[in-house]
Amino acid sequence: MSDTNLKKASTALSLADFLPYQLSITSNAVSNRIAQVYRSEFGLNVPEWRTMAVLGDSGPLTQRNVTELTLMDKVAVNRACKMLEERGLASRKPNAEDGRSHLLALTQAGWKVHDRIVPMARKMEHRLLEPLDEDERQTFVSLLQRLLNQSNELGPPTADNG
């Protein structure tokens, strides 16, 4: 094998075996499967539901907080927040701690939708995890958390390090 072919072989990337790709397509497949639940019945897309879910977990948040907690693009969060407000599922009020930002919170209508979606999403989650026994589920969750922690230890993503 020539030096050029050896170099190509050592730097070749099999996308199907590349961890970020595997995580991404798995995440997209799982998110899209669960999204069918809230898209068809409630007309919500993934960023809108994630925003509602994080508000349901954390209470009122700024858009910046939502972006940080969901790791979604700030443009997607902005669109989701606007749509939730337009539909009356969330409302904005001035942030007393910071006069420049606003806190977004679920409205009563938003809580009703949230509380109807959660059991449906949990049921789909359970169906997705059916092939794993309880020990495998716990190990899987633990491994995902360890990968997330390692990623966080490497620092925030930048244009240089992705």
The fold of the 18-124 domain, in CATH, is Arc Repressor Mutant, subunit A (1.10.10)
Longest dimension (CA), the chain: 68
Domain boundaries, the chain: 18-124
CB contact set of 35 (below 8 Å; sequence gap of 6+): 45, 46, 49
pTM greater than the 0.85 cutoff: no
pLDDT digits (tens, 9 = 90+) for 84-132: 999 999 999 998 888 788 999 999 999 999 999 999 999 999 999 999 9
133, 126 contact by CB (below 8 A):
no
The angle at the Cα of 120, spanning 114 to 124, to the nearest 5 degrees, equals 135
Q: Residue 3: what pLDDT?
A: 57
pLDDT digits (tens, 9 = 90+) for 19-61: 989 999 999 999 888 888 889 999 999 999 999 999 999 999 9
